[in-house]
Structure 1
Amino acid sequence: MVKSHAKNKIYRILPQILADYSNARWVSLTLLANDCSSDELLRTTLDLMNESLRRLVKLKIFPGIGWIKFVEVTQRCGGNIRPCFHILMIVKASYFGHGYLSQKKWAEVWQRSLRVDYSPTVSVKRLNPEQDLLIGLISESAKYCSNEAVILQLSQRVPNVKTVTIGGILRNYSDLLTPINITPASIFPSDSCAGGIPS
């Protein structure tokens, strides 16, 4: 189960956002980078991913106008560590028309933002706010981590990393997240994981 303090904070934010942006269109975006073999490389990779996300949101093609980003880290069967960003994002109305980005296109722009020579894993889907958004916050990552994955306490492995951040037009809601530090283990419990992450 999700720890109560994290759940209470999150559920306090999302209903207010849904009320304030009742006509908004939402997308769930998952961005990954290559696995890391140590905590030191994990820190470097998370820094790279954050810098790359800043580049991504500045692109003219980027459709998001407001977002909530969650950092998830899983330890894979071989011992490597996989960092992942789960992003709940309000998009421009034009996104589902001429501004639409396919999953292949998302992978291309994320690769360009990462400045890497491999094709990173990306997953994107449209969310129905009334049905999906509140439960999606907890369940979206479940299908990306394997049954044997162990959710790491990111705050212990890589101190001073923000596990939840808010950007764009939703930035004003950031104060509702402090001073509590929400850890990935409290949001994405390992015993709920099912399915696998594409390699």
Structure 2
Amino acid sequence: MKNPKLQYLTDYSPSDAPWDAHRSVSDDVGGIYLLAAEYERYGARMASCGGLLRFGWSTLKETGETRLRLREAHFCRVRHCPVCQWRRSLMWQARFYQSLPRIVADYPDARWMFLTLTVRNCAIGELGEMLNRMNAAFQRMKVRKEFLPVQGWIRTTEVTRGSDGSAHPHFHTLMMVPPSMLSGDGYVKHARWVELWRECLRVSYNPNVDVRAVKPRKPKDGESLACATAELVRGAVAETLKYST
């Protein structure tokens, strides 16, 4: 017999609260799709997204802790489904984490930087065009002299809502760079990053740009420098990829 008090995943597993949170937002977005005839099919797909989740018990080798792990599920794969976006973010994090030990080993002296690139708010109806312009601008910036020393990067897009209902799209970029880009011949001042982004966007105003280094930390007792670096970068990657869509 079903227990009527157990309605949500968190009733069974409190640590899986993100499932319920994203599923709730997905219901809201799906409801909006259902209001437009041409998008009803997306709303219908989202209504059943993650409706059936099969979990199994799994023991973590590192700690011996036993917890529920997802074994089987059906996802709608609608581009703007909050559940699928969240799962996609976790997938990219996992892929990067798998590659991280080799990256740290191959580039032991590399440093890491956050670069956030913004534009002026635009109307919701102009968002698609603005994102196209931003993507084209980033492609132009990649071949500029100041950007060429960058050894690799990951970039995500976030769109927030202004107080007046306008859209505020911006890029979050995590870059792996040589030490010289932070304190050497390759150092790029904040004012120059603003100028570069303005030129690549082909706008007449100075867009907001935030650039900051990921500060290294000393290894803990018994911890190697490579492990300390990998753990540091893991946090930076999680911060960047949480915006992935």
TM (norm. structure 1) is 0.62
Aligned counterparts, 1:94-133, within 5 A: 94-95=180-181, 96-127=183-214, 128=216, 129-130=229-230, 132-133=232-233
**Distance change >3 Å, CA 89–CA 132, structure 1 → 2:** same
Q: C-alpha distance in 2, partners of 1:90/1:138? A: 15
Instruction: Name the aligned partner's letter for residue 206 of structure 2.
Output: S
**Distance change >3 Å, CA 104–CA 141, structure 1 → 2:** farther
SS in 2 for 1:100: coil
Q: C-alpha distance in 2, partners of 1:5/1:124? A: 26
Aligned counterparts, 1:52-63, within 5 A: 52-62=137-147, 63=149
Q: Which 5+ residue runs of structure 2 have no aligned equivalent?
A: 1-17, 19-85, 217-228
SS in 1 for 2:151: strand
Q: C-alpha distance in 2, partners of 1:87/1:17? A: 17
User: Which position in structure 2 is the counterpart of 1:186?
Assistant: none
Instruction: Name the aligned partner's letter for residue 112 of structure 1.
Output: E
Q: C-alpha distance in 2, partners of 1:87/1:106? A: 13
User: Which position in structure 2 is the counterpart of 1:170?
Assistant: none
User: Which position in structure 2 is the counterpart of 1:31?
Assistant: 117
User: Which position in structure 1 is the counterpart of 2:237?
Assistant: 137
The one of 66, 76, 81 equivalent to 2:162 is 76
SS in 2 for 1:64: coil
Q: Determine what percentage of the aligned residue pairs are the same residue.
A: 35
CA deviation string 1:117-140 (max 9, x = no partner): 111111111113445321123336
**Distance change >3 Å, CA 33–CA 43, structure 1 → 2:** same
Q: C-alpha distance in 2, partners of 1:102/1:57? A: 17
Structure with bigger gyration radius: 2
TM (norm. structure 2) is 0.52
Are 1:43 and 2:143 counterparts?
no
| Partners of 2:157 and 2:169 within 8 A in 1 | yes
For residue 14 of structure 1, report the CA deviation from its aligned partner.
3.6
How many positions carry a matched residue from both structures?
144
Instruction: Name the aligned partner's letter for residue 118 of structure 2.
Output: L
Relative contact order higher in (CA < 8 Å, ≥ 6 apart): 1
Q: Which 5+ residue runs of structure 1 have no aligned equivalent?
A: 143-150, 152-162, 164-182, 184-199
